[in-house]
Amino acid sequence: MQIGQKKTTGQKMKKERNRGRETDRKPNISQIQKTGEHCIYAKRCGGCDYQGILYSQQLSKKQSYMRKLMEPFGKINPIIGMDDPYHYRHKVQAAFSCNKRGHIVAGVYEKHSHDIVDVEQCQIEDAQADAIIREIKNMMRSFRIRAYDEDTGYGLLRHVLVRKGYHSGQIMVVLVLVSPILPSKNNFVKALRKKFPEISTVVINVNDRKTSMVLGERNITVYGKGFIEDELCGCTFRISPTSFYQVNPQQTEKLYRKAISCAKLTGKETVIDAYCGTGTIGLIASSRAKHVIGVELNRDAIKDAISNAKRNHIHNVTFYNEDAGQFMVEMAEKGEHADVVIMDPPRTGSDEAFLSSVVRLAPNKVVYVSCGPETLARDLKYLTKHGYRMKECTPFDLFPFTKHVETVVLLSKGAKGPVDLCSARTEVERRMADSRKVKVDFSLEDMDLSEFKGKATYEQIKAYVLEKTGLKVSSLYIAQIKKKCGLDVGENFNPAKSENARQPQCTPEKEDAIMQAFRHFGII
Ligand SMILES: C[S@@+](CC[C@H](N)C(=O)[O-])C[C@H]1O[C@@H](n2cnc3c(N)ncnc32)[C@H](O)[C@@H]1O
């Protein structure tokens, strides 16, 4: 499907860049796909790591990476890929701005910068969502809506987020504005819906902060219900503007089906759905279990989970708004029982409290759904040292053209005899030391709802800042800002040998980005 970029395209792009006319480019993406050329935005956009690589080769690369990583634990199944790996993203986000020539641009931030690559059509995004964003861009002039300028702070429209239900076809448009007032909002919505009657709700999200975060805290529904619904594995789920919801619905159904079938439920089991988000996996599994307990840190996600249970008339599920690790510790201390633990943590993986409590609770099966292969391997190392065996491992390609891999692992209690809890603790400590060496790639998909109240490593803060702003910040800068806020810099941070040593000072831009991360992780 994909072959290396033709020289002619590269020459054309260079010529256009030299003319500084990127906003006038009208690429024909379907032509690019037919001829198998490389995406023309690839060099500047940087969103797809595997551009110019045949899809079958992308799958082979992911398979061999996972095989190597999982080797110590057992064999893995072939990766589950997509028949058609294009336009799978049902959540599309575009940043808006004006370029030097005064033209409105809408697209993604260039790698490590705040310049916007004006993307007309993207190979991996839903084509209708892209068309809606293009239409909004075209309508801006007649409605006198100015794109926000980060430098001057003038302008109104910062981002547009489009979410589309795969089965329902319902579309939610979120206009991220600096102020709650959209001029002629009713006419604007009317004109947009005239072109796209499938739009079922339009929400204004107010983000008036000088920040790189896309969404602000306030949502105002200007048309429809303020959320859309979609189906996954026979259940209906509500998707609100800030909810975590997997972006590739086709592959998500395969992933969830695999996770639930691994648990081999008979209707008699107590199942824990840890890191449950809006309750998706637990609610789908509930018809085959006696009782499902969902636990999730994000309050809005839990609200959605409760409403999803009602919407689907499910009564054997209980949701808790807590830290999953803390929740499991309390369950283990009370001597409570679970037959199956399904865990779907963010890319950073699980934590000491959670894993050691799983060992104490001793469920027969643990189903680990992971979007971070390295942290999965780290956590499997712990679980397999404490009585569990990997019985099955299936990688899924949820993000074609990127290097990301999603995995479902089934673990059962092995024949290793009872667990020595004292040595488990020591091992936890060793594992935590090891974990600092694991490189973790963060994705905004994970970050949407994560509120790691008060705790985040330097690496998590760095990854967060990079993902959100494209800025690289050092441990030194993070420590400087921590000090400025009167926070403990932590034992593991090595300051300069002498306080008087000349150290580079954090710039205001990076300080702002670090402060955003502190707020996100609940540190301040
Ligand atoms: C990869 S998502 C999975 C969500 C859900 N299982 C799904 O498939 O839609 C990870 C979830 O973990 C939540 N989370 C992050 N840290 C957590 C913690 N310490 N305790 C509980 N939930 C947490 C996030 O808010 C997010 O909803």
pLDDT tens-place values along the chain, 524 residues long:
232 333 333 343 333 333 333 333 334 444 444 334 478 888 888 788 898 899 999 999 999 999 999 999 999 999 999 999 999 999 999 999 998 888 999 999 887 777 899 998 899 999 999 999 999 999 999 999 999 988 888 999 999 999 999 999 999 999 999 999 999 999 999 999 999 999 999 999 999 988 778 999 899 999 999 999 999 999 999 998 887 899 999 999 999 999 999 999 999 999 999 999 999 999 999 999 999 999 999 888 899 999 999 999 999 999 999 999 999 999 999 999 999 999 999 999 999 899 999 999 999 999 999 999 999 999 999 999 999 999 999 999 999 999 999 999 999 997 543 343 334 333 433 444 344 334 333 333 433 323 233 456 777 788 888 877 778 888 888 888 888 777 776 544 444 444 444 678 888 888 888 888 887 776 77
* Cβ 241 vs Cβ 172: under 8 Å: yes
Asked if residue 202 belongs to a domain, the reply is no
Which of ligand 1's atoms lies nearest the C-alpha of 295?
A: 21
Q: Are both 331 and 426 inside the same structural domain?
A: yes
Beta bridge partners of 392: 410
- CATH at 337: 3.40.50.150
Mutate to test the pocket of ligand 1, among 450, 452, 460, 464 (most ligand atoms within 8 A of CB): 450
Which of ligand 1's atoms lies nearest the C-alpha of 345?
A: 10
Find out whether 275 is annotated in a ligand binding site.
yes
Ligand 1 centroid distance, CA of 290 (Å)? 23
Q: Are both 456 and 426 inside the same structural domain?
A: no
Q: Is 371 a catalytic residue?
A: yes
> How many domains, in total, are found in the chain?
3
Find out whether 441 is annotated in a ligand binding site.
no
Nearest CA to ligand 1 atom 19: 323
Ligand 1 centroid distance, CA of 35 (Å)? 40
Q: Are both 501 and 355 inside the same structural domain?
A: no
Q: Are both 375 and 474 inside the same structural domain?
A: no
* Cβ 453 vs Cβ 324: under 8 Å: no
Asked if residue 402 belongs to a domain, the reply is yes
Ligand 1 centroid distance, CA of 296 (Å)? 6
Ligand 1 centroid distance, CA of 214 (Å)? 20
Q: Are both 389 and 505 inside the same structural domain?
A: no
Q: What is the predicted pLDDT for the residue at 97?
A: 93
Q: Are both 456 and 313 inside the same structural domain?
A: no
Q: What is the predicted pLDDT for the residue at 389?
A: 97
Q: Which candidate in 39, 122, 235, 371 is catalytic?
A: 371
Asked if residue 211 belongs to a domain, the reply is no
- Nearest to residue 402, comparing CAs of 449, 347, 350? 347
Asked if residue 511 belongs to a domain, the reply is yes
Residues 6+ apart with CB under 8 A from 441: 347, 372, 403, 404, 463
- Nearest to residue 481, comparing CAs of 432, 519, 428? 519
Domain range enclosing 35: 1-40
Asked if residue 141 belongs to a domain, the reply is no
Q: What is the predicted pLDDT for the residue at 502?
A: 60
Q: Identify each DSSP E strand in 240-354 by its residue range.
A: 270-274, 291-296, 317-321, 340-343
pTM above 0.90, yes or no: no
Q: What is the predicted pLDDT for the residue at 489?
A: 67
Q: Are both 488 and 421 inside the same structural domain?
A: no
Q: Are both 382 and 491 inside the same structural domain?
A: no
Asked if residue 393 belongs to a domain, the reply is yes
Q: Are both 421 and 491 inside the same structural domain?
A: no
Q: Are both 409 and 293 inside the same structural domain?
A: yes
Find out whether 11 is annotated in a ligand binding site.
no
Mutate to test the pocket of ligand 1, among 253, 296, 369, 442 (most ligand atoms within 8 A of CB): 296
Q: Spell out a b/e string for 99-121, using b for 16 or more CB atoms within 10 Å of the CB, else e.
A: beeeebbbbbbbeeeebbbbbbb
Mutate to test the pocket of ligand 1, among 275, 303, 348 (most ligand atoms within 8 A of CB): 275
Ligand 1 centroid distance, CA of 468 (Å)? 19
Asked if residue 278 belongs to a domain, the reply is yes
What single-letter DSSP state applies at residue 24?
G
CB neighbour class for 352 (10 Å; exposed up to 12, middle 13-18, buried from 19)? middle
Nearest CA to ligand 1 atom 1: 346
Q: Are both 474 and 513 inside the same structural domain?
A: yes
Asked if residue 70 belongs to a domain, the reply is no
Q: Are both 288 and 391 inside the same structural domain?
A: yes
User: What are φ and ψ of residue 201, in 5° steps?
Assistant: -155, 145
Q: What share of the chain is helix, strand, coil (3-state, %, to 5)?
A: 35, 20, 45
Pocket of ligand 1 (CB under 6 A): 244, 246, 275-278, 280-281, 295-298, 301, 323-324, 344-346, 371, 446, 449-450, 452
Q: What is the predicted pLDDT for the residue at 522?
A: 65
Ligand 1 centroid distance, CA of 322 (Å)? 11
Which of ligand 1's atoms lies nearest the C-alpha of 449?
A: 25
Find out whether 150 is annotated in a ligand binding site.
no
Residues listed for the chain: 524
